[in-house]
Chains A and B, each alone.
Chain A
Amino acid sequence: MTLENCLILGAVLFCIGLLGALTRRNAVVVLFSIEIMLNAANLNFIAFWRFSDNPAVLNGPLFTLFTIAVAAAEVAVGLALVIAVYRHFKTVDLEQLDTLKEE
Chain B
Amino acid sequence: MTQEITFWVLAVIAVLGALVAVRRRNLIHGVFALMIFFAALAGLFLLLLAEFIAAVQILVYIGAVGILLLFAIMLTERVTGDDARDITSRGSFWGWVAALAVLVFLLLPAIQSADLPQTTEPYNPSVKALGQQMMNPYVVTLEVLALLLTAALIGAVAASQGGEKKKEDADDA
Contact = CB atoms under 8 A, between A and B. Distances in A.
Interface of A: 1-9, 11-20, 22-26, 28-29, 31-33, 35-36, 39, 42-43, 46-47, 49-58, 60-62, 64-66, 68-77, 79-84, 86-88, 91-95
Given A9-B15, A39-B41, A72 B65 contact: yes
Interface of A (DSSP majority class) = helix
A15 B99 contact: yes
A64 B53 contact: yes
B21 A20 contact: yes
B75 to A, nearest CB: 6
A101 B57 CA distance: 38
B18 to A, nearest CB: 4
Nearest to B23: A20
A62 B30 CA distance: 29
Nearest to B160: A80
Contacts of A77: 152, 155-156, 159
A94 to B, nearest CB: 6
Nearest to A64: B53
12 contacts: A9-B44, A12-B15, A15-B103, A19-B95, A25-B87, A28-B76, A29-B30, A33-B21, A46-B44, A64-B50, A66-B145, A69-B149
A69 B56 CA distance: 10
Nearest to B89: A25
A3 B116 contact: yes
Contacts of B50: 46, 49-50, 60-61, 64
Contact size class for B? Answer: 35 or more
A83 B148 contact: no
A17 B19 CA distance: 8
A80 B159 contact: yes
Contacts of B56: 65, 68
Q: Which 9 A-B residue pairings sit nearest by Cβ, starting from the closest?
A: A22-B95, A20-B22, A73-B152, A87-B163, A11-B107, A80-B156, A23-B95, A19-B99, A23-B92
Contacts of B45: 43, 46
Contacts of B129: 56, 58
Contacts of B148: 69-70, 73
A43 to B, nearest CB: 6
Nearest to B42: A39
Given A8-B111, A23-B88, A56-B123, A15 B77 contact: no
B173 interface: no
